[in-house]
Amino acid sequence: CERCGQSFSWRESLELHLREHRAPERAHPCPECGRVFPHPRYLWLHRRKHSGQRPFPCARCGRAF
């Protein structure tokens, strides 16, 4: 991406990424750190980092992710 420097293996992935740069009115900022996401689901996933929530335990080792 010429705008932010992120690299992609597939042209389709780059095209989807470029849409994120073109749609700032649909941006969803994180209230904790200010990072902006193009979709509320991405924000929801990101916010788990701040809360420490890890809802997916591994059946084999017990670690949560």
* Number of domains making up the chain: 1
pLDDT at 48: 85
Residue 7 lies in a domain: no
> What backbone phi and psi angles, to 5 degrees, belong to 9?
-80, -25
Residue 60 lies in a domain: no
pLDDT at 60: 93
Residue 41 lies in a domain: yes
The range of the structural domain enclosing residue 50 comes to 27-54
Taking a C-beta distance cutoff of 8 angstroms, is the pair 21, 5 a contact? no
pLDDT one-digit tens code per residue, 22-35: 766 678 889 999 88
Instruction: List per-residue pLDDT tens for the chain, 65 residues long.
Output: 888 899 999 999 998 888 777 766 678 889 999 888 878 888 998 998 888 777 788 999 988 88
Taking a C-beta distance cutoff of 8 angstroms, is the pair 43, 28 a contact? yes
- Whole-model pTM? 0.48
Residue 50 lies in a domain: yes
Residue 1 lies in a domain: no
